[in-house]
Amino acid sequence: MMALDFSFYNWDVISKFVLKGFYFSIILTVVATIGGVLFGTVLALMRLSGKKWLDMPAAIYVNGMRSIPLVMVILWVFLLAPFAIGRPIGAEVSAVVTFIAFEAAYFSEIMRAGIQSIPRGQVNAGQAVGMTYGQNMKLVVLPQAFRNMLPVLLTQTIILFQDTSLVYAIGAYDMLKGFETAGKNYGRPIEAYLLAAVVYFIMCYALSYCVKRLHKKIAIIR
């Protein structure tokens, strides 16, 4: 039986192969979270507008995206986008576009639930002092909804970070790809995948613990 050997992993190997992918995974997570929350908020407001011509397309988009595996969406965008715009967009750009579009569907449902959690009396109070729908949402509803939803939004962001490893399917250089490349160069692919799993576990477990603590603090404030 082959013995595992992790001795080849040192700072030089990490800086040469892994850090580039790590940075891309983090950037992809941050950009997709910001873009997904913004787009998701628009979708949530469309679904809560009470107007069928806004609610229906938003509902079709959200339910459609949530019914398709992410890796399939990644492949579709990567393979079909060049035909739509007439030129290739690259694996990294394709990954960013895909994650924003896909995660928006999930963030939309989180936002919708958060908005609906605000007591109707506060909305009525804002209307009573002459606020428009937009002002009411901006100044009264959304700030409270974001606070209520923050732990769930952060949990979804952790899931998003885990899912960034799927860009491996289109050849984007993420953290998993960095570990794999290092493993191939030194003839230690098993050790590379094991180390990648350990790093993903440590990062996600630590972030989940922080979210759990934050959730308890928000519960006390309430």
Q: Is residue 1 part of a domain?
A: no
Q: Is residue 203 part of a domain?
A: yes
Mean of the per-residue pLDDT values of the chain: 88
Q: How many domains does the chain have?
A: 1
110-120 pLDDT, tens digit each: 999 888 888 87
How much is the pLDDT for 222? Answer: 54
Averaging pLDDT over each range in 14-18, 24-28, 44-48, 130-134, which range is the top one? Answer: 24-28
Confidence of residue 2 (pLDDT cuts 50, 70, 90): low
Q: 37 with 111: CB under 8 angstroms? A: yes
Q: Is residue 6 part of a domain?
A: no
Q: How far is the CA of 33 from the CAs of 12, 96, 97, 105, 106, in angstroms?
A: 31, 10, 12, 12, 11
Q: Is residue 55 part of a domain?
A: yes
Q: Is residue 3 scored above 90 in pLDDT?
A: no
76-91 pLDDT, tens digit each: 999 988 887 778 788 9
How much is the pLDDT for 174? Answer: 94
164 CB contacts (<8 Å, ≥6 apart)? 25, 28, 29, 95, 99, 174, 175
**What CATH code is carried by the domain that includes residue 62?**
1.10.3720.10
Range of the structural domain that residue 134 is part of? 11-221
User: Out of 1-15, 72-86, 131-145, 183-197, which region has the weakest mean confidence (pLDDT)?
Assistant: 1-15
Q: Is residue 214 part of a domain?
A: yes
Q: Is residue 172 scored above 90 in pLDDT?
A: yes
Rounded to an integer, the average pLDDT of 99-106 is 96
Q: Is residue 163 part of a domain?
A: yes
Amino acid at the residue 104: A
Q: Is residue 220 scored above 60 in pLDDT?
A: no
Cα–Cα distance for residue pair 13/169, rounded to 1 Å: 23
Q: Is residue 4 part of a domain?
A: no
Q: Is residue 132 part of a domain?
A: yes
pTM, whole model, 2 decimals? 0.89
Confidence of residue 166 (pLDDT cuts 50, 70, 90): very high
- Grouping H, G, I as helix, E, B as strand and the rest as coil, residue 90 is coil
